[in-house]
A = this chain, B = another copy of it.
Amino acid sequence: MPSNQHASDAFQLLADYLQIPADGSAALTKVFQPKKLTRKQLLVQIGEPCRLIAFVANGTLRSYFTDDRGIEHTMQFASPGQFMTDFVSLTSGQPGQLFIEALEDCELLVLHQSAFDTLAHSRTSYHNLLMAQLTHWYTEMSLRLMDMMSLTVEQHYMKFVDQHPELATHVPQHMIASYLGITPESVSRIRRRAAHHDGHHKQQNHKPD
């Protein structure tokens, strides 16, 4: 079965990420279910309670919401090796405020809420993994909020490109803009200014034929 080849790779990546020894990774296959998404397909809808956590084995996910005026605001990106969910909805049971969509064809491992709750309330090492993940998300958002408050938009964009070179090159600019809280036009102008400055500082090595 060639199609299962990828699935096992996905479990291997998850086991690595969770730092689980090879022999213990079999347990993962009992609670995580492989799932594939095609580009632009939605994993989670606004208004419905989010009942899953997704581990990205391949591709990229994005969570976002739209405001009164229909403007999109990106909350999070998830690259291979990272988890994605609407955590607020998952833990509260309330209708979600986020869409989660595939930016490209994706391979996921999905942990459903029932299994999540079992693990969350169990007093096993999974409990600690969950705590670690939540701490990680909290830290990320905290730093992002600090950046948003203290940096100029230009510094903020530059920092994003620096810290997420993969996303910066593979994700549409307007989504990065919506993540940074600015307009696509502003991103474009920042890029132009940066290019000009780079051009002055270091010449591109353009061969004279």
Contact = CB atoms under 8 A, between A and B. Distances in A.
A188 interface: no
Contacts of A1: none
Interface stretch (A34-42, A146-154, A156-164, A196-204): A146-154
A75 B88 CA distance: 20
B123 A181 contact: no
B141 A131 contact: no
Interface in A99-132: 120-121, 123, 127-128, 130-131
B73 A150 contact: yes
A139 interface: yes
Interface string A78-93: 0000000001100110
Nearest to A73: B149
A13 B5 CA distance: 56
B67 A139 contact: no
A183 interface: no
18 contacts: A65-B150, A67-B151, A71-B150, A73-B146, A75-B142, A75-B145, A87-B139, A87-B142, A88-B138, A97-B146, A120-B131, A123-B123, A131-B134, A134-B135, A141-B141, A145-B148, A148-B148, A148-B181
